[in-house]
Structures are given as C-alpha cells and as structure tokens.
Structure 1
Amino acid sequence: MKKVILITGASSGMGKETAVKLIHEGHIVYTVARRIDQMQDLKSLGGHPLQMDVTREEDIQYVVDTIISKEGRIDVLWNNAGYGLYGSVEDVSLTEARKEMEVNVFGMAAMTQKVVPFMRKAKSGLIINTSSMGGKMYFPMGAWYHASKHAVEGLSDCLRLELKQFNIKVAVLEPGFIATEFGSVLLHNFSKISPQSAYTGMMDKIIHGTKRAGQGNGSSKPSVIADTVSKIVSSTNPKTRYRVGKFARPMVWMRTYLGDRLFDKIVMSQM
C-alpha cells in the first residue's frame, strides 16, 4: 500500500538512503533538512524535498501544512534529524548542550505535535523515532549525546502508550555504528575544544577509535537502516524497538546484563 511518508534529517546518511528505497517502493516520500541542495537528487527520483530546520516552529508548520494540502494525510513520520555532540561535561558549553537537546529532543517533539492531530483524525499512523544504541548505554565524552538519546527513549515509550488508543504505532530505531557523517561531526566537535583540556588523552584515544571505525568493517552501511525502516513501514504490527547495525546488539546486551562496574571496566579498557 502506498503511504505518505515524512522523513526529517534526509540530506545524507541513513535518512537519504532510506528515502531512496522508499521512493523506489512506490511511496510518496517528503524529505526535509536544512541542506535542501543535498536532496535535489531525491526530487529527480520522484521524492519531495523541502527545506526545514527542526528548531524553527514556523518551518515545521509550513512543511506539515504543505503535505496535508497536497496529500490530505501523513501516514508515517520518521523523526530522524539529529547529531552527535562530543566532549567532556566540563569542556562542552551549555550553549552547545542546549542546541543538542533542541535538535535531538525538542525538534522531534515539535514535529510529533504538529503531525499527531492528523493521525488521530485518521485513526491511523506510524511514528518512528531515531534513538541509538547510545540511548541504552554510554561512552565517555558523549554525555550530552547520550542524554539526548536517553530522552528520546523515554519520550517514545510514553508516546507509544498515549497514542495506542488512536491506533497510532510508535517504534524506536536504535542504530549501532553506521557509516554516516556522525564520525566527522564528532571529530569537528573535538577540534573546537582547547588543546589545554584536561581530557586530551581520552579525546585522542576516541579520535583514533572513531577514525578506525570509519575504515574497513568498523561500521555498517546505511542500507541496513533503509531495509529496517522499510520493514517497519510495511508491518501491520511493528515492534516497539529495532536494534540494528554494528555492535548495537552486543553493546546493549552487555550494558543490560553485566552491571555498571563491569560495563565501565569494558568501556575504559578501550581508553
């Protein structure tokens, strides 16, 4: 069945790869991101790219109004926009931390608030929220990123219970290491921190590990996310969570069953 799908954060990586797949499957796909120039190829494939910043309510309202006026409905909302902010709690400014939360958490919530009324009216809908394996565990230097993804997990659970009465499904996507721009953003964040930071030794090891993960078999291809989202979209009864990609399952398993102290030792052994 052809569905009207709205994807945020679709200018690259997982969002863009998935948009291509869903378009090829015959769905009506609207993609939004700040960098609209990077989505023009989706337009040539039959997609509908729109420029939007998830931190601007007027942008969100325009996008939702545009889709409703043209299609009359939104069947699937994939809240995929987000980024990683890395650095120690001591070093990262609260201005940067608030921006992280604004994009990763409040942007997702704002999109959801604008779309849900139409799904309620239709008594049908699917919301997919991109969390991360980082929403279930943690690494040093990632406090604000992990905090944002832990918030996505909690928000999604509450949302699922609230919307069940309206036949709206909520699924959480928990990717592991995926070959996207995430690593380059992480390295850029580190470059803004003073070289006199007390945490340079730890940062150097994380930088080395990030570069290594970006080579060879250190990350999964975005296509594993595209295949998973396609599966969620076509399911009549999707699971509440989908853990997919390099290291996602084993890392979350260790965090769940080994306890804090042992998991801490495992993580720090890599430092």
Structure 2
Amino acid sequence: MTERVALVTGGSSGIGEATARGLVGAGFTTYAVARRTDRLAPLDADGIRTFAMDVTDDASMAAGIERIVGEHGRIDVLVNNAGYGSYGAVEDVPIDEARRQFEVNVFGLARLVQLVTPHMRAQGSGRIINISSIGGKFYEPLGAWYHATKFAVEGFSDSLRLELAPFGIDVVIIEPGPIRTEWNSISRDSLVETSRGGAYEERAERVRGVMERGDGPTMSGPDVVARKIVKAATTRRPKARYPVGRGAGSIVLARRLLPDGVMDAAIGRVYK
C-alpha cells in the first residue's frame, strides 16, 4: 500500500493534537506543526513527527511543505486547524489585530493550500480539510472579526472544492460547535482586555459570562472533532462539510431555516 502522509497545523493542543493522534492511529505518516515546539514534544513519543511552523510566516510554511515532500515524495492530507478567536467590539479591536486574525485564520490556511496543491495535483489525489466553525454560519455580538474569518473560510472552501475536484483533490469543511479547548479562555480574555474602560465594557462582561457558562462538562471534547476529521480523511467519498459537537447541527439548521430578524432576536436573548 502506498504510504499516506498527513499534515496537521495547530497541532500542539486541543483539536490539532487529538487529530494528529487519530491520523497516526489510522495509519498515516503524520506531521503536527505549531509555533511552540516545546508543546509538541509529547507527540513525538507516539510516532508523530513534529517541527515548528508559523502560519503567518511564508518562509516557514514553504520550508515545512518542502521538508515533508522531500522526505516522502507526497502529501495526501492537509488539516488546516491553526486559528484563534479575537473578540471585542469592531470599534475597539485595533485594525492590526483584525489583520492578524485574518492572517492566521484565513491567509495562512490559503497559503498552505497554495503550497500543497501542486503536489496533490501531480499525484492525482489529495484531501484538504479546513477547520471552520459553526461561527462561520451564525454570529454573536462582539465577535465580528472572528466570525468574519470563519465566514471567509466557508466561502473560500466551497469555491476551492469546485476548483480542485477535476484533479482528484477533495476539499472538506469541518464545523465544530462549542469544544473544550484553550480557544475558549483565550477568546474570553481578549474580549475583556479589549473592552476594558470603554463603551462596551459592561456588555463584554455579559458576553464573557455567556461564553464561560458554556465552557463546561456539557461541551464536546476535542476527540469528538478529531474522529470526524479522521473520517473525512479516510472515507472514500467525503461530504462537503461536517458539523460536529453537541448542538452544532441544530445551530446550523436554525440558521438555515430562521429569518434574520428571528435569529437576531434569539441570539439577543442569549446575550441579553
């Protein structure tokens, strides 16, 4: 059997770490990359190959893909998982931070697609799995920049799927709901810090409270998402998108069926 090679970005924790373990368990030669190599060390013991990659640094990404292809002659699966949530009112979030949010969540993802596509096209097969979010389908107050990046990932991936299909390359979107990862605390902290002392400070505390209440045992763990990613990587005919995690399917369905005014009212009640 031909060796199958996979790359997972944002592999140092959460969904990325669980996905790397799942893919190596499924028989892939698996690379997990992140900016902080010290946090990748536990994966080495499980046969996962690790090295540093910064998805905001073009040279870092190009060197990483060159290394993988140089060692194996191919790359079969790219899991674009690196990303974070930057919250705060549009008025308050510095435009440089908004640009960084897009650099990490959208342009880093897109650049890796550019780098792997020629290799997948040459081998006549490949699978690009982009980690979006239910946040790419609905919205919430003080989350405009984050949601904008995930809406962008959705549109980018849908167009890319049609673009690459003639070359035997599948494009899959994963849409996690609320998942227990570091993402939650990082997002809450950025929200409170950005809003401190401003017109949105009180509302930011309310939004933080809603986010915090949702961060508990009722949330799905990253392993749930990882299993769906492994399925998307290995099934013969993957779906275009997979909502995953407790409540994700219901939220996506509600957004599809409810008029904007009703959806606005429902979200407004949650965040008061």
Normalization by structure 1: what TM-score? 0.97
Query: 2:209 aligned with 1:208, yes or no?
Result: yes
Matches within 5 A, 1:98-137: 98-137=99-138
Q: How many residues align?
A: 270
RMSD across aligned positions (CA)? 1.1
SS at match of 1:209: helix
- 1:231 corresponds to: 231
Query: 2:139 aligned with 1:144, yes or no?
Result: no
The separation in 2 between residues aligned to 1:87 and 1:187, in whole angstroms, is 9
Q: Which moved more, 1:28-37 or 1:18-27?
A: 18-27
Which amino acid in the other structure matches residue 234 of structure 1?
T
Contact 2:34 2:51 in 1 (8 A): yes
- 1:12 corresponds to: 13
Displacement of 1:81: 0.6
SS at match of 1:111: helix
User: 5+ unaligned residues in a row in structure 1: which ranges?
Assistant: none
- 2:185 corresponds to: 184
- 1:88 corresponds to: 89
The separation in 1 between residues aligned to 2:58 and 2:45, in whole angstroms, is 28
- 1:250 corresponds to: 250
The separation in 1 between residues aligned to 2:42 and 2:65, in whole angstroms, is 22
SS at match of 1:45: coil
Which amino acid in the other structure matches residue 102 of structure 2?
M
After the TM superposition, which segments of 4 or more aligned residues of structure 1 sit over 4 Å from their partners? none
Q: Which moved more, 1:148-157 or 1:251-260?
A: 251-260
Displacement of 1:200: 1.9
Displacement of 1:82: 0.6
Normalization by structure 2: what TM-score? 0.97
Q: Which moved more, 1:246-255 or 1:133-142?
A: 246-255
Which amino acid in the other structure matches residue 148 of structure 2?
A
Displacement of 1:256: 1.3
The separation in 2 between residues aligned to 1:49 and 1:196, in whole angstroms, is 42
Displacement of 1:18: 1.2
SS at match of 2:30: strand
The separation in 2 between residues aligned to 1:7 and 1:135, in whole angstroms, is 21
Give per-residue Cα distances to partners, 1:167-199, cap 9 Å, x unaligned: 100000000000011111112212322432211
The separation in 1 between residues aligned to 2:156 and 2:236, in whole angstroms, is 22
SS at match of 1:87: coil
The separation in 1 between residues aligned to 2:135 and 2:241, in whole angstroms, is 14
SS at match of 1:236: coil
Displacement of 1:204: 1.1
The separation in 2 between residues aligned to 1:216 and 1:123, in whole angstroms, is 43
The separation in 2 between residues aligned to 1:162 and 1:215, in whole angstroms, is 40
Which amino acid in the other structure matches residue 63 of structure 1?
G
Identity of aligned residues (%): 44
The separation in 2 between residues aligned to 1:262 and 1:249, in whole angstroms, is 18
Which amino acid in the other structure matches residue 8 of structure 1?
T
